């Protein structure tokens, strides 16, 4: 992968290139950023740049044999470790190499994939939990003890390194004192879940959210999205290209209407109005017919809308426009900041459960009932 293929992050790309050219890249680098910001894509592009035989000023050449093999993720000196599951009952080691074919296909198609989607690909939707095992770590130690095949460097990319957990201790000595010309690139989203002994042995590079203008340009030019739709997707995706891609086949206007219906249902149930039950049934039915990805899109839009309402209530600038803004001005007159925060939390939980294939009807009904109790001023225990 080349840096030019990554959405935005221009300053960070230049920093990484400069670190390589000035020989200031640490032998263990942690690329830390939120989902969808391009952390894995940056690791892949950096690996290709390191191995390139004809480095250009701003990128790898893309044409030498090293670049061609890296672009296909088949370079013999480029190694991967990532969360995975047992392939079948005979799988004793549970190592990343077992899934290398699926890994290449998935990442070549979308280097912005998130870990839930990846594990679902492996588990064929069975909602299994992935991890990186001690057996995986031992296989990595063996591979990196060998000489390089073609490149000057051996590069180990560990995607979602937080999934190592305590098994990361198995790699400590190797990360601290790797063989010559061995580079570790650890891709991390939640640094709190990485053991301190790993963190202390890496140079951390923080990846910011993608700028709206960069995301809008790629949506318009590559995906042929209209300017208006691209602008709306960028607002809701909050700097995540993964979220933006998931929203491409959605209908943002449906989300507008559903969020307003959600709040209307919650208010009417809270104040015991006669048509509350009918409206809630309508909301639950509409939500259940959307399909999982569009249900998740609704949740993301609702979270965006509530966040913007809180900003509006505090007198700050908001990204809301038109009918969204008009409805928000009415909404903030009846909901205080504590209620906004609690409703934000329960919708975030709804997204969590939908992502894990929970029954959408029961989850939405539960969320509506909780929201109505919050709006009625009842004590509702909501945890993040």
Distance CA 178, CA 52 (A): 21
What confidence score (pLDDT) does residue 111 get? Answer: 95
Is the confidence at residue 382, as pLDDT, over 80? Answer: no
pLDDT band, residue 15 (cuts 50/70/90): very high
Domains 3-208 and 249-375 alike in fold: no
Sign of the CA dihedral 50, 69, 64, 146?
positive
264-296 confidence digits (pLDDT tens): 899 899 888 888 889 999 999 999 988 787 888
Neighbouring C-alpha atoms within 13 Å toward the C-beta of 364: 27
Banded pLDDT at 63 (limits 50, 70, 90): very high
Write the CB contacts of 340 (distance below 8 Å, at least 6 apart in sequence).
306, 309, 310, 313
Mean pLDDT of 72-77: 95
Give φ, ψ of 247 to 5 degrees.
-90, -5
Question: Mind listing the pLDDT tens digit for each residue in 197-245?
Answer: 999 999 999 999 999 999 999 999 999 888 888 888 888 888 899 988 8
pLDDT higher at 94 or 269: 269
What is the model's pLDDT at position 6? 96
Q: Among 97-101, 276-280, 323-327, whose mean pLDDT is lowest?
A: 323-327
Residue 315 has pLDDT above 90, yes or no: no
Topology adopted by domain 249-375: Zinc Finger, Delta Prime; domain 3 (1.20.272)
- What is the structure's pLDDT at 126? 60
Provide mean pLDDT across the span 30-53: 96
Is there a contact between 185 and 25 (Cβ–Cβ < 8 Å)?
no
Q: Which pLDDT does position 291 carry in this prediction?
A: 79
Task: Give the chain as a 3 state SS string.
Answer: CCHHHCCCCHHHHHHHHHHHHCCCCCCEEEEEECCCCCHHHHHHHHHHHHHCCCCCCCCCCCCCHHHHHHHCCCCCCEEEECCECCCCCCCCCCCHHHHHHHHHHHHHHCCCCCHHHHHHHHHCCCCCCCECCHHHHHHHHHHHCCCCCCCCCEEEEEECHHHHHHHHHHHHHHHHCCCCCEEEEEEECCHHHCCHHHHCCCEEEEECCCCHHHHHHHHHHCCCCCHHHHHHHHHHHCCCHHHHHHCCCCCHHHHHHHHHHHHHHHHHHHCCCCCHHHHHHHHHHHHHCCCHHHHHHHHHHHHHHHHHHHHHHCCCCCCCCHHHHHHHHHHCCCCCHHHHHHHHHHHHHHHHHHHCCCCHHHHHHHHHHHHHHHHCCCCCCCCC
**Which of 290-304, 336-350, 365-379 has the weakest average pLDDT?**
290-304
Identify the pLDDT of residue 372.
92
Report the candidate in 65, 64, 73 with the shortest Cα–Cα distance to residue 43.
73
Q: What pLDDT does residue 157 have?
A: 97
* CB of 80 closer than 8 Å to CB of 154: no
Mean pLDDT of 301-308: 88
CA–CA separation, 1 and 68 (whole Å)? 9
Instruction: Check pLDDT > 60 for residue 251.
Output: no
Q: Is the pLDDT of residue 253 over 90?
A: no
How many CB atoms are closer than 10 A to CB 34? 16
**Can you tell me which residue has the tokens 């590069």?**
155
In angstroms, the CA 170 to CA 208 distance is 30
Q: Which tokens sit at 288?
A: 């259940």
| Domain boundaries of the chain, sorted by first residue | 3-208, 249-375
Which region holds residue 62: left if phi is over 0, alpha if psi is between -120 and 50, else beta? left
Rounded CA-CA distance 47/41 in Å is 10
Looking at mean pLDDT, say which of 246-255, 267-276, 374-383 comes out highest.
267-276
> Could you give the percent of the chain with pLDDT greater than 70?
95
How high is the mean pLDDT of the chain?
Answer: 89
φ and ψ at residue 88, rounded to 5 degrees: -160, -175
- The CATH number fitting domain 3-208, selected from 2.40.37.10, 3.50.50.60, 3.40.50.300, 3.30.70.141: 3.40.50.300
Residue 330 has pLDDT above 70, yes or no: yes
Does residue 325 have a pLDDT over 90?
no
Q: Residue 322 in contact with residue 308, Cβ under 8 Å?
A: no
Q: Is the pLDDT of residue 256 over 70?
A: yes
Instruction: Please tell me the distance from the alpha carbon of residue 97 to that of residue 106, in angstroms, as a whole number.
Output: 14
* Confidence category of residue 252, pLDDT binned at 50, 70, 90: low
pLDDT tens digits along 109-160: 999 998 988 988 887 756 577 889 888 899 999 999 888 889 999 999 999 9
Q: Give the model's pLDDT for residue 86.
A: 83
More confident: 15 or 91: 15
Biggest CA–CA distance in the chain, Å, is: 75
């Amino acid at each position: 992968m080349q840096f030019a293929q990554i959405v935005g992050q221009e300053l960070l790309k230049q920093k990484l290139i400069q670190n390589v050219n000035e020989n200031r890249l640490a032998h263990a680098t942690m690329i830390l950023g939120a989902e969808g910001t391009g952390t894995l894509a940056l690791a892949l592009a950096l690996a290709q740049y390191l191995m390139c035989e004809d480095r250009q000023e701003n990128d790898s050449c893309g044409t030498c044999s090293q670049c061609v093999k890296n672009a296909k993720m088949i370079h013999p000196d480029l190694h991967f470790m990532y969360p995975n599951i047992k392939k079948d009952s005979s799988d004793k080691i549970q190592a990343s190499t077992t899934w290398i074919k699926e890994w290449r296909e998935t990442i070549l198609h979308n280097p912005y994939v998130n870990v839930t989607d990846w594990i679902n690909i492996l588990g064929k939707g069975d909602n299994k939990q992935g991890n990186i095992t001690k057996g995986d770590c031992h296989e990595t130690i063996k591979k990196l003890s060998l000489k390089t095949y073609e490149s000057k460097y051996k590069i180990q990319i560990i995607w979602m390194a937080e999934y190592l957990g305590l098994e990361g201790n198995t790699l400590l000595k190797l990360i601290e004192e790797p063989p010559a010309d061995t580079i570790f690139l650890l891709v991390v989203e939640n640094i709190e879940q990485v053991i301190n002994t790993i963190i202390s042995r890496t140079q951390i590079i923080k990846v910011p959210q993608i700028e709206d203008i960069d995301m809008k340009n790629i949506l318009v030019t590559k995906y042929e999205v209209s300017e208006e739709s691209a602008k709306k997707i960028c607002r809701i995706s909050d700097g995540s290209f993964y979220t933006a891609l998931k929203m491409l086949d959605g209908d943002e206007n449906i989300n507008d209407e559903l969020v307003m219906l959600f709040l209307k249902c919650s208010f009417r149930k809270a104040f015991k109005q006669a048509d509350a039950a009918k409206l809630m049934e309508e909301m639950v039915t509409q939500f259940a017919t959307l399909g999982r990805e569009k249900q998740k899109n609704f949740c993301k839009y609702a979270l965006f809308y509530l966040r913007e309402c809180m900003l509006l209530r505090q007198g700050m600038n908001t990204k809301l426009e038109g009918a969204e803004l008009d409805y928000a001005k009415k909404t903030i007159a009846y909901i205080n900041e504590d209620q906004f925060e609690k409703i934000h939390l329960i919708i975030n939980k709804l997204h969590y459960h939908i992502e894990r294939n929970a029954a959408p009807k029961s989850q939405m009904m539960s969320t509506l009932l909780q929201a109505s109790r919050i709006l009625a001023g009842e004590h509702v225990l909501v945890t993040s």
